[in-house]
Every structure is written in structure tokens, then in C-alpha cells.
Amino acid sequence: MKDQYDYIIVGAGSAGCVLARRLTDAPGVRVLLLEAGPEAHDFWLRTPAGMARMMHHPKYNWNFETEPVPTLGDRRIYWPRGKTMGGSSAINGMVHIRGDRRDYDHWEALGNPGWGWDRIGKLFDAMENDITGPAKPRLGGPLNISHAAVIHPTVHDFIAAGRALGLRYNDDVNSGDIEGIGLLKFNIRNGQRQSSYDAYLAPVRDRANLTVITGAHVTRVVLNERTAKGIAAVLPDGQHVTFHARGEVILAAGALNSPQLLMLSGVGDPAELVRHQVGVVHALPGVGANLQDHFVSRVQVRVTPGSSYNKSLQGWRKYLAGAQYLLKQSGYLALGSSPAAAFVKSHPDMAYADVEISFRPMTFGFDTRGGVAVHKFDAMSASVYRVRPSSRGRIGLHSSDPRQPARFEPNYLATDDDIAAMIAGIRAFRSIIAQSPLRERVVAEMVPGPDVRSDEQLLDYLRADGQCAFHPAGTCKMGPDAMAVVDCRLRVHGIDRLRVADASIMPVVVSGNTNAASMVIGENAARMILEDARHQRTVAAA
């Protein structure tokens, strides 16, 4: 064994950085944090508008791709995932949405005590420094939350149009009730991205009880008689090393990589492991199952001059925007992805909103190299997706080689409910843009287009054009049932001293963007780990 630590955390992403911070808050606890990607030292990582450059970045992005999806005409769907300190929180759109209180109460009702809103809501309060001025201030946490640096007049018209249709104005999407229409919030501070690394780990990076190794590709968990003893990894220089954990190993590699690591370590569905010549250490069929992701459809609309900020990012104006950002850290380069959203029910019988319509007064496409290219004409757009899809996919192995990506089978639009909800969401956005005062800005719908009206036509459009919203979850689900991978304390069923703490443990994906929920999973995991360690010491001393 090369070295020994109390806790080894695999993955310095949204949850992993939170875990490392909270565990090392205890001075006597020695933590090793391993990250496959490089350090997050790049101007465009810190700049909110840099998310466009990160979309296919070979250094900071895993650039994953799914298997052909039968329900989408066998298209492969591109899945970006962050590969640097902060993980996907270093390259995403920075939208900060907790989800609905009923999401977490549902987790608890599924047999997971300690995950209901009464506890999780307080953990959100403790992690946030929300300067947007909600009725009940949430100040003092490490993660800074703000509204968009520029709120275009068209955004206000979008909200007004939704209210005119009868949607409730929601002045705080993070109150625990997502339903309604209003402004979104972002992990942005003084015009700079606040990844989980920036907020949690960078301020304490020099702690004596914290060791961080970047460029370390973990190949497996070292198991001995169904007990995690450490991890095996390959360092950037090609050296194969093993690190020993006196306490526990915690997988925080994300919903795509954590299940792969379990399978490579011999924990998973026996049929899958045997197929790829991986020795079965412990049969756990739920590993990689229960894959959920938000399948997204775009609607793009041409608008009147001045109703979009597309042209502010073209020609000489983009240099002006750049100068404004460099001098004041403000303007369009300080923006996150979508400044406002509507959360609506796809059907009146839904218990609470199940469709998100994220709105932005700009549009973009992709150039021949896959880069993001802002359109040169005035236009606005929405991303429509069902926040609690009923379709389930799975993750498997392509081979026993840890350097090979896993096999991703998302199974989008596999249920009639998901199809109906997506179509309802597109229609809901069309109703909003047809309502004053927004309709006065509309010239014509571009995508999917005014001739795409029937359910059949809209379904064809979804299958031909829909993409992922970059929110995979659920592949190491938490619970007491036969397909659960971890228990309510995030301990892997049947394996001692091994936990999983990232978006993979969600039994059901949260109602909205998943980054905030991933961070709060890290918060709750750290508290549970320290609570359990204190309990063990008390028992040993008795």
C-alpha cells in the first residue's frame, strides 16, 4: 500500500468537493481526493459564457456518447460530463435549482429516512449564500447564488405572458415549491462561475489533512472479503498505485462513472460481469440500472429587432461585451444558461409540476466542429423537458478495460407518459409566446416550425431532434429494495466500508437541474459518514 487515509473520495465533482470539504472540517480526519481530470486553471472555466467552449472541450470534458437509441431512430446522443476539479459544475450552465420538496419527501417515503425535505431543506440553507433577496434570506453558506447579470426586457415579457395565462408567479424557485413562472438562480459570484470546487474546496486546498491528486484514473475498488480496503489507480506518469483507506472508500464519480467502477470492482449484475470477464465479488443487479435523464426539446422563435441579445454577441459588439466582462465582470459574458423558467403540469391530474420550460432571449446552433455558434439574427428559445421522466435506461460495460467508457443506454421516450408530457410542454410554450406582451415580439416559429402541429408530427420532431439535458441520475439508487445499490446511509449493500455519494443514488431524479441536488447529497453524505464514525467510536469505547 502506497499510503493510508481515513477516507478516500473518488471524483472531485459536484458532490466530491463538498464531501472533501466537510470531512476535512474535522481536523483529525485525513482525506485523499482523486480526480481523473486536470486542475481547473482556465479563464473560460471561470467565465460563465465559457460553458459554450466547454461543450466539447477535449481536456475538461469526457465527451461521452450513448449507444444508438432505438426510440430516437437509433441516433447516438452526445453526453458532456465535466472532467476537472468541480466536475460537471465546472462546465455546466450554472442553474441552481433545488427541486421540489415533494421530490425529497418521496425519497424518504421509498424507505430512505434522513432524506426528506425537513432535513434536506436545512442542508440547502446551510450550503447557500443566496443574495437574491428571497422572503427568508439564506446567507452564510459557501455557495454563492445570484440572479442573471443581465435580465433582458424579453425575459420580463415571458414572465408576464405566463402570468397572463394563469401561471403563478414564483419569486423563489428554491422555496420547495417549483410550480409557476419566474427568474432562475445561478452559481455565479461577481461575474464568475462558482463550481463546487470554487465554493467548497479552493478556499481550504492547503489543509494539512487533505491530499488532492489530479490526473489519477481510478481503475477499481480494492476489495477483500467484501470489505473495501482502498483503491487502485493509474497516475499521470503511468505509475500504477494503490491507496489504503483506514475508514471508508466513497465513490463520487458521478452517475455514469460510479456504477462503472463498481462493476469493474466485481460488484454488479453477475451476467454483465461474466460477459466481460470480470470476477464476481458481490451480486448486486441494480448497479447501472434505473438510469434517468432529462430528455430535452428545443423551440426557437424569430423575434423583432431588440428582442434578443444574439446580435450583442456578433461582430464588433462581441468585443464590447468582452471588454465589459474583463473590466467589470458583468454583461452578457457573465450570464448562465437560462434566466427564467416555467414549471407546469403536463396534465391536470399531476400532483405537481412535471415539465420545465427554460427560457432564454437568444438562440444558437452548432458549427461543423461541434462548437456552439450564436445565431446572427434576432431570436429567442426554450428548452422543454419532463423533470420526472418515467422512462428508465441502464449503464453496462463495453469491456473490462477501465480506460474505456461504459455503455450508456438511456431509453428516452420509452413510455407514453413521457411522450405526452413532452408534447404538452411544447404546446405550453407555444401558448406563452402567443400571449401578450410576449406575442408582440414574435415574428415566426423556426423550430419545430409552424407546420408541426399534430401529436404525430411533434413526436417525429422529438425523435429526430431531441437531446439530453445533461442530468443523468439514478444508476446506484438508494433504497431497501432488491434493485437498490446503497442504503439510506449511502453504504453499498453487501460491501463494508464502501459508499456512493453523487447523483447516481437518486431513486427518482429531482424536478429540475441536478447540480444543486448533487451538492446537497455531498452535504448529507458527509454528515452521515461523520455521525456513523462517532457512533462506532462510542460503541468501541463502551
Binding residues for FAD, by number, are: 92-95, 218
Three cell numbers written together for 40 = 481547473
483, 289 Cβ separation under 8 angstroms: yes
* Of 45, 73, 77, 51, residue with least CA distance to 64: 77
152 noted as active-site residue: no
Q: Where are the alpha helices (DSSP H) in 362-454?
A: 416-433
Q: Where are the alpha helices (DSSP H) in 361-470?
A: 416-433, 455-465
CA pair distance 489, 512, nearest whole angstrom: 24
Give me the amino acid identity at 213.
I
* Of 293, 310, 289, residue with least CA distance to 301: 310
* Of 166, 160, 93, 167, residue with least CA distance to 362: 93
Which residue shows C-alpha cell 446572427? 376
Q: Where are the alpha helices (DSSP H) in 309-441?
A: 315-328, 416-433
Give the residue ranges of the annotated binding site: 92-95, 218
Helix (H) or strand (E) holding 532: helix 515-541
51, 57 Cβ separation under 8 angstroms: no
Of the candidates 96, 106, 375, 471, the residue annotated as catalytic is 471
Check residue 272 and give left, alpha or beta (phi > 0: left; psi -120 to 50: alpha): alpha
Catalytic residues: 471
